[in-house]
């Protein structure tokens, strides 16, 4: 007989407690306890040990292990291949999350439709019926007539169908709708999400099937379910974007088969998502030229350099405490950089409201954009325009020094390729590499030097 036991499980980390608690002692989350009925079956310990013995492998040294080239499946999207590290790895488990309606299902359905022409692909939908999936596929440019579609939420039935069909790629949309019949919790609970992901991971590894699972996100923007979910999978992708803009950003925050922090740009159109081959041109096509408060910065997203416009508006305040608002950068970084301007350059910003925005809806976390933010803020405060063909690269310290940044060659080459005539970089980054012929490279060691070059009358 199965014994039932009621425990309380944290929805943030999955830690269990015998009674309800307001605060999780493991992760610190408040009001995250969920009642779960735990079932324990009286299985024989000897049989479990026998199974472990049968599946044991020989211990080897790293010298004895031969290097095997990981085969990859290339999709029809160059941006999607870039984010995955060069294509889909067979036997990998990929988790993709994003806000509702952002385009997760559309992206995966496009990928499955293109690959189904040459490979056997199984698309498992738990949120839509087969007719709804067909209607969505008919709106895409890709021919999805050869795609295998299955509508089911029972994990055991899904396992049997996968064994019968033997696909090379599986998509499960979404993991919150899948349930294991042996667990009494409702679909989408911590126990169900964890057990379903564990079972899909065994399917992917044992049968060498590339598996994609779609995950919902919470109001904080994190994938719903225990944090353990992101540790179990091989790759974690986040699909970001603004519903008021047509552009979508796909980020890799974890990738066991490639570099992390890679970014792919897509444009949402009537026939689906289209890759944007040159994102820098897209971000700069509507930029303001020769207008106070506008600068161009060069940032790195994974292995790709991007040129993005940073806009600043500094205006006298009507309140006792001036406002500091930032969109696309950290609010604390804005306060820090404005303090550097006040202390080292003598700018009186105590009675000025400051608003900073990164054009295009991109979020910048790299310190190499500090110099561009400093120049944009000073330009707006002085009401003096910066040359639209200048690009700024550099990290700014608390003493006003401009510090070295990584991959300076790629950043400068991207600026030269897009027609910029001058780039201001840290002086410590000059030397050891060849400058492009059609761009002037200027090295500065402090914000004072950078401001003299940027705001110098022409």
Q: Please tell me which residue, 332 or 52, carries the higher pLDDT value.
A: 332
pLDDT tens, position by position, 246-260: 788 898 989 998 887
CA distance 13 to 420: 48
Residues 289 and 360 in one domain: yes
CATH number at residue 444: 3.30.230.10
Asked if residue 105 belongs to a known ligand binding site, the reply is yes
Query: Is pLDDT of 43 > 50?
Result: no
Residues 207 and 314 in one domain: no
Residues 224 and 259 in one domain: yes
Residues 268 and 288 in one domain: no
The candidate with the shortest Cα–Cα distance to 397, out of 352, 355, 362, 448, is: 448
| pTM of this structure | 0.76
pLDDT tens, position by position, 282-322: 888 888 788 899 999 999 987 889 999 999 999 998 888 89
Residues 15 and 126 in one domain: no
Residue 313 lies in a domain: yes
The candidate with the shortest Cα–Cα distance to 420, out of 313, 292, 281, is: 281
Residue 399 lies in a domain: yes
Q: Dihedral of CA 338/341/342/343: which sign?
A: positive
Asked if residue 167 belongs to a known ligand binding site, the reply is no
**Token duo for residue 344:** 């080292």
Residues 90 and 234 in one domain: yes
CA dihedral 240, 242, 247, 252 (to 10 degrees): -10
Residues 244 and 141 in one domain: yes
Mean pLDDT of 37-65: 59
CA distance 65 to 68: 9
Query: Is pLDDT of 375 > 80?
Result: yes
Query: Is pLDDT of 263 > 90?
Result: no
Mean pLDDT of 201-206: 92
CA distance 233 to 216: 15
User: What pLDDT shows up at residue 269?
Assistant: 86
Domain count for the chain, please give it: 3
- Residues 212, 96 contacting (CB under 8 angstroms): yes
Q: Is the backbone of residue 197 left (phi > 0), alpha (psi -120 to 50) or beta?
A: alpha
Share of residues in the chain with pLDDT > 90 (%): 52
Residue 391 lies in a domain: yes
Residues 85 and 176 in one domain: yes
Residue 62 lies in a domain: no
User: What pLDDT shows up at residue 29?
Assistant: 82
User: What pLDDT shows up at residue 219?
Assistant: 63
- Domain span at residue 157 reads 72-277
Residue 422 lies in a domain: yes
Residue 372 lies in a domain: yes
Asked if residue 44 belongs to a known ligand binding site, the reply is no
- Residues 233, 213 contacting (CB under 8 angstroms): yes
pLDDT tens, position by position, 166-185: 999 999 998 989 998 888 77
- How is residue 186 annotated by DSSP? P
User: What pLDDT shows up at residue 220?
Assistant: 62
Mean pLDDT of 261-271: 85
Residues 261 and 297 in one domain: no
Query: Is pLDDT of 364 > 70?
Result: yes
- Residues 198, 226 contacting (CB under 8 angstroms): no
Q: Please tell me which residue, 18 or 50, carries the higher pLDDT value.
A: 18
- Cβ-Cβ contacts under 8 Å for 49 (sequence gap 6 or more): none
Asked if residue 102 belongs to a known ligand binding site, the reply is yes
CA distance 18 to 8: 6
- Residues 304, 413 contacting (CB under 8 angstroms): no
Residue ending a domain, among 225, 260, 277, is: 277
CA distance 177 to 262: 29
Residues 204 and 231 in one domain: yes
CATH number at residue 186: 3.40.50.300
User: What pLDDT shows up at residue 25?
Assistant: 87
The candidate with the shortest Cα–Cα distance to 327, out of 314, 352, 310, is: 310
Residue 54 lies in a domain: no
CA distance 340 to 140: 51
- Residues 270, 278 contacting (CB under 8 angstroms): no
Asked if residue 98 belongs to a known ligand binding site, the reply is yes
User: What pLDDT shows up at residue 309?
Assistant: 94
Mean pLDDT of 238-253: 82
Residue 10 lies in a domain: yes
Asked if residue 99 belongs to a known ligand binding site, the reply is yes
- Cβ-Cβ contacts under 8 Å for 457 (sequence gap 6 or more): none
Quickly tell me which residue has 């490979």 as its tokens. Answer: 119
Query: Is pLDDT of 45 > 50?
Result: no
Strands 235-241 and 93-98: parallel
pLDDT band at 236 (very low <50, low <70, confident <90, very high): very high
H/E element holding 236?
strand 235-241
- Residues 76, 118 contacting (CB under 8 angstroms): no
- Cβ-Cβ contacts under 8 Å for 106 (sequence gap 6 or more): 136, 140, 268, 272, 273
Residues 192 and 258 in one domain: yes
Asked if residue 196 belongs to a known ligand binding site, the reply is no
Asked if residue 4 belongs to a known ligand binding site, the reply is no
Residues 271 and 410 in one domain: no
pLDDT band at 42 (very low <50, low <70, confident <90, very high): very low
């Amino acid at each position: 007989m199965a014994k039932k036991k009621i425990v309380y499980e944290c929805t943030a980390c999955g830690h269990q407690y015998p009674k309800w608690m307001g605060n999780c002692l493991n992760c610190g989350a408040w009001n995250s306890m969920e009642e779960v009925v735990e079932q324990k079956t009286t299985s024989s310990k000897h049989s479990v040990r026998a199974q472990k013995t049968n599946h044991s492998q020989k211990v080897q040294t790293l010298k004895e292990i031969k290097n095997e080239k990981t085969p990859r499946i290339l999709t029809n999207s160059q941006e999607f291949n870039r984010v995955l590290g060069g294509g889909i790895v067979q036997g990998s488990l990929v988790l993709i999350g994003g806000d509702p309606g952002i385009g997760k299902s559309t992206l995966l359905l496009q990928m499955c439709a293109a690959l189904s022409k040459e490979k056997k692909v199984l698309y498992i939908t738990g949120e839509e019926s087969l007719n709804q999936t067909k209607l969505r596929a008919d709106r895409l440019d890709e021919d999805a007539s050869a795609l295998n579609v299955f509508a089911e939420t029972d994990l055991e039935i899904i396992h049997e169908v996968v064994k019968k069909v033997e696909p090379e790629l599986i998509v499960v949309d979404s993991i919150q709708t899948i349930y294991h019949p042996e667990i009494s919790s409702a679909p989408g609970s911590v126990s169900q999400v964890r057990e379903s992901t564990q079972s899909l991971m065994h399917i992917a590894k044992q049968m060498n099937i590339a598996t994609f699972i779609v995950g919902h996100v919470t109001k904080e923007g994190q994938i719903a379910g225990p944090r353990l979910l992101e540790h179990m999978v091989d790759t974690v992708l986040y699909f970001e974007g603004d519903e008021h803009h047509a552009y979508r950003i796909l980020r890799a925050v974890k990738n066991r088969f490639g570099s992390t922090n890679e970014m792919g740009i897509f444009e949402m159109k009537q026939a689906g998502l289209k890759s944007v081959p040159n994102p820098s041109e897209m971000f700069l096509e509507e930029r303001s030229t020769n207008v106070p408060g506008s600068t161009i910065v060069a940032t790195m997203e994974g292995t790709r350099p991007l040129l993005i416009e940073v806009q600043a508006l500094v205006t006298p305040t009507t309140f006792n405490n001036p406002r500091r608002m930032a969109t696309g950068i950290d609010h604390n970084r804005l306060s820090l950089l404005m303090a550097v301007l006040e202390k080292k350059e003598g700018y009186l910003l105590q009675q000025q409201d400051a608003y900073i925005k990164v054009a295009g809806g991109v979020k910048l976390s790299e310190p190499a954009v500090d110099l561009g933010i400093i120049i944009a803020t000073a330009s707006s405060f002085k009401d003096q325009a910066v040359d639209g063909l200048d690009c700024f690269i550099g990290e700014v310290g608390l003493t006003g020094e401009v510090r070295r940044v990584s991959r300076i060659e790629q950043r400068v080459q991207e600026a030269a390729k897009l027609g910029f005539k001058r780039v201001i970089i840290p002086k410590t980054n000059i030397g050891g590499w060849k400058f492009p012929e059609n761009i002037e490279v200027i090295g500065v060691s402090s914000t004072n030097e950078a401001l003299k070059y940027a705001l110098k009358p022409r």
